Structures are given as structure tokens and as C-alpha cells.
Amino acid sequence: MFLLVLAGCARVAAPAPRPYVVEVPVPTPIYCDAPALAPPALPIATLGAGSPPADTVRSYAATVVVLKAALAERDSILAGCAPPGSASTDGNKL
């Protein structure tokens, strides 16, 4: 009887923590047969040591335009790449 009284005062063990699923997006490589792009011809390459300042500024401005166009071309090529075995991209590009 005494043991029964002591057992009634025992602490109840805390419930075990419940596991939960956490989804972590992991970037996956995307394989694509993209063509190799040639480096663009930059207008600043034609500048010499004695180039006038006005030509230098125009060449730098033209170089920015050429580089932005090369970036847009690269982005359009990469947009056509898709993960193997899928027809659409899901945003997990590297």
C-alpha cells in the first residue's frame, strides 16, 4: 500500500519531442548545351595613351552598352536551359 502512495507522487515524464519535416531548397546543377560565347569587342580597347578625353568618355559609354547587350544575350541563352528530365524550369538554377 505504501508503494502505491509513493507511485502516485511520481513525476510524469515529459512527452518526447515530435519530429517535423523541414524542406530546404538545394540548388541543383542544370546541364545545358549552351554555345560558347566569344568575348565582345570592347570600344575601350581602341583607346591609346594620347586619346582625347571626349573619345575616352564615348568609348566607355559604348563599352557599357556592349557589355549590357552581351549580358542580355547570355541570360537569354541560360533561360533556355532546363534541369535534366523536365520540360520547365523551377527556379533552382545555379
* Alpha carbons 42 and 39: distance in angstroms, whole number: 9
Q: Report, as ranges of residue numbers, the positions in the chain whose pLDDT lies below 70.
A: 1-10, 82-94
Q: Which sequence spans correspond to the domains of the chain?
A: 30-83
CA atoms of 21 and 17, how far apart (whole Å): 13
pLDDT of residue 77: 86
Query: In this predicted structure, what is the pLDDT of residue 47?
Result: 92
What is residue 48's predicted lDDT score, i.e. its pLDDT?
A: 92
What pTM was computed for the model?
A: 0.53
Residues 6+ apart with CB under 8 A from 40: 66, 67, 69, 70
